[in-house]
Amino acid sequence: MPRKKKFSKVFKKWLKKRLWICLTILFGVAFVLHVLFTHSFTFKKAILKVTEYIGVSNQTYDFAGHRIFEVNDITYVAYDHPLVTAKVLFDPVCESDFCNLDILKEQILTNLSPAISFQEIDISSPEGARLANETDIKAVPSFIFDEEVQLLGNFAFIEDFFVERRPFFLLKTPPGKFIRTPHEEVAHMKGAEEPVIIITEFSSFTCSFCKELNDTIDSLMKSYGSLMQVRFIHFNRGGIDQNLIQAAECSAEQGKFWEMHDKLFDNQAMFIDEDGEFNLEFIAEVALELELNKGKFAKCMNDEERFTSRLQGMQRVSADYSIQAAPSFFINDYFHEGSLDKKGMREIINEMLSEPAEDVRAIEVEAERLEEIE
């Protein structure tokens, strides 16, 4: 018998006897791969497990513990959590730099995690309106995450960048365009009962720029008083701010908030006495000048917890609208941080009014004439 045929016959005989062994090995390998890819391991972990056996070059870890490896001259980074999706509510007509989604996305991927995908949703769409109501967002763009964001490996380090509103986590970003304005419940108000223009200011009695803004608003009230309402919300900067807020709120209990408000802004140099302490004597003199009930006012000033709930409400509003400094203010839905001169504010108001009524313009002209005389 030829040697080749003899070898073939012997090999077949050997394979037949050991076929069950070969099949067992094949099924075993298939089962292991099945477990790696479909059960308790993520796809990326499965790849890592396989690479441990096939031999991967240049394995290392980044600062966050993510595994970096190279296969066939291609570098991979593996994460131990799924891809996280952020729903992005945006307004396509917003022209603010803070509405540039490309820049914001790049910052998020760089500073938070590259394992984030984005789903853009127009705020004017039905889905956008529904999501805005569910999350009670105040401005766009808004980056809204589900609870899965907590799966990010570095979430413990970036948690402070989010506002938690179960079941959502809202990323803190600068407001590009406000879609809601502060409610009047926590504000002190004066002016028209049915206003066309509402100025909401976040202000501090110790702030010189806040005084400038206050003077400008008072001047504008002469021009647009029949159409304008002013809302004042305390922005507590610490230090003696709390004492001055207390004095203003105690005056409000006796119907004299705006009178005390004006006195404080007009006398900022009097807040500190010769010893460098808060000048309580000055506050008492102002209270006397405003004809406040001395006993009630003194008792109120000594009750440090009296306005805790109200002031906490103001702080929540400031946080909700990302107010970072005083002065900050709204003219209807237009937002500005810092002071703004009368000309600038008038231009904004007139644009909102489109074509001011003749009587309003007449009042404005007369107010300007009076200012020139003064």
> What one-character-per-residue DSSP string does 307-343 give?
THHHHHHHHHHHHHTT--SSSEEEETTEEEES---HH
Structure tokens at 297: 């006012």
Q: Coil, strand or helix: which one is 290?
A: coil
CB 137 within 8 A of CB 168: no
User: Which pLDDT score, from 0 to 100, does residue 68 have?
Assistant: 73
Q: Which residues of 177-212 are buried (b: 16+ CB within 10 A; e: fewer)?
A: bbbebbeeebbbbebbeebbbbbbbbbbbbbeebbb
Where are the domains positioned within the chain?
A: 84-178, 184-373
Which residues on neighbouring strands pair with residue 230, listed in sequence order? Answer: 190, 199
Q: Coil, strand or helix: which one is 69?
A: strand
User: Which pLDDT score, from 0 to 100, does residue 27 have?
Assistant: 72
User: Which pLDDT score, from 0 to 100, does residue 53 have?
Assistant: 47
Q: Which CATH class is domain 184-373?
A: alpha beta
User: Which pLDDT score, from 0 to 100, does residue 358 have?
Assistant: 45
Rg (CA), the chain: 34
User: Which pLDDT score, from 0 to 100, does residue 153 have?
Assistant: 77
Backbone angles phi, psi at 280, to 5 degrees: -70, -30
Domain 84-178 has CATH 3.40.1710: no
Residues of the chain with pLDDT under 70: 1-20, 22-23, 31-67, 69, 71-72, 80, 355-374
User: Which pLDDT score, from 0 to 100, does residue 9 have?
Assistant: 63
User: Which pLDDT score, from 0 to 100, does residue 26 have?
Assistant: 73
Write the CA distances from 35 to 26, 32, 276, integer angstroms.
14, 5, 73
Structure tokens at 290: 């405003």
CB 169 within 8 A of CB 147: yes
User: Which pLDDT score, from 0 to 100, does residue 111 have?
Assistant: 87
Structure tokens at 307: 């306005």
